[in-house]
Amino acid sequence: MNPATANIEEAILSAILAGRINPGTRLGEQKLADLFGVSRTRVREAMMRLETRGVVQVSARRGWYVVEPSAEEAREAFQTRRVIETGLLHALREVPPQVLKSLKEHVAMERDAIGAGDVHSRACLLGDFHIHLADALGNRMLTEIIRDLTARTTLISMLYQPTEKAEESSHDHEDIVAAMEAGDLALAARLMDEHIGKVEAGLDLTAKPDPLAGLRALLSPAAFAGNAPSVPHTHDHPQDHSHPHSHGHPATKED
């Protein structure tokens, strides 16, 4: 592959993993071309590659956008991660000491970042843990898959995560590594399953499907089918689903 193209691809992907690009961000071809000092052709290449990897999308003649996974896609992504990562731990017969050491160091770094309140690297490290774990098998294919998947879940967290429970996540990671060290990989797999479940449960999948949600809620909090409002207001309105007839009722501006 062309190195320049690979660079662009990698730069954008790692920026997403690091939480430095928000979901929904527009990525103009010309802008990126100028930024990287290449022609649009290359940028398009990189974008199309990223599209097949599921991290950007093109909107015809409007531009490339970082994906904003729907609630459904979010569920799929977490389920996929659960399948793969527990499967990985089950497949692992023994953990090489070197890997164990590396993972322990990683968890230590997580704790440090949390202690220091370094929000930026914190999120990055929490996602990176899973990628490091995939390295344990030494399987590049699997690592790549998990990397792409982690990018998506990172974006999902940005969209749907009301409160970040970094300490808890890091603690989970610690427990998983401990189980691995004890050689109890079945336990590690179970813990991983629970961990991913917890992260998923911590999401508010009823909220923020689009940037207009908050605005829309402000204007008419009543009954817009499908997408729920999501400003800091309380939203968990058990909401009788979708009144097709009564659209646009700006009446109740409750709480």
Partner DNA sequence: GCTTACAGGCTTGTATACAAGTTTGTCGCC
Partner DNA sequence: GGCGACAAACTTGTATACAAGCCTGTAAGC
25 binds, among DNA, a second copy, none (CB under 5 to 8 A by kind): none
Q: What are phi and psi of 52, to 5 degrees?
A: -70, -20
CA separation for the pair 246, 179 (Å, rounded): 55
Residue 34, CA distances (Å) to 40, 194, 227 in order? 9, 45, 37
30 binds, among DNA, a second copy, none (CB under 5 to 8 A by kind): DNA
Binding mask 216-245 for DNA (x = CB under 7 A): --------------x-xx------------
CA separation for the pair 253, 255 (Å, rounded): 7
Binding mask 48-67 for DNA (x = CB under 7 A): ----------x-xxxxx---
Out of 77, 185, 199, 217, point to the residue binding a second copy (CB under 8 A). 77
> For a second copy, which is the closer residue by CB, 45 or 110?
45
Q: How far is the CB of 191 from DNA (least distance, A)?
A: 43
Q: Is 6 in the site for a second copy (CB under 8 A)?
A: no
Out of 87, 96, 197, 248, point to the residue binding a second copy (CB under 8 A). 87
The residue count for binding DNA (CB under 7 A) is 26
Residue 186, CA distances (Å) to 25, 180, 182, 189, 255 in order? 40, 9, 11, 5, 47
Could you tell me which stretch among 1-9, 107-115, 118-126, 146-154 binds DNA (CB under 7 A)? 1-9
> For DNA, which is the closer residue by CB, 33 or 178?
33
> For a second copy, which is the closer residue by CB, 26 or 140?
140
> For DNA, which is the closer residue by CB, 39 or 79?
39
Residue 92 contacts residue 223 (beta carbons within 8 Å): no
Q: Is 141 in the site for a second copy (CB under 8 A)?
A: yes
The H or E element containing residue 59 is strand 56-59
3-state class of 152 per DSSP?
helix
Q: How far is the CB of 50 from a second copy (least distance, A)?
A: 9
Residue 191, CA distances (Å) to 30, 33, 194 in order? 46, 44, 5
How many C-beta neighbours within 10 Å does residue 67 have?
A: 21
CA separation for the pair 7, 180 (Å, rounded): 35
Residue 211, CA distances (Å) to 23, 33, 113, 149, 228 in order? 10, 27, 30, 23, 11
> For DNA, which is the closer residue by CB, 4 or 187?
4
Q: How far is the CB of 91 from DNA (least distance, A)?
A: 36
Q: Which residues bind to DNA, rule: CB under 7 A?
A: 2, 4-5, 27-31, 38-42, 44, 58, 60-64, 230, 232-233, 248, 250, 253
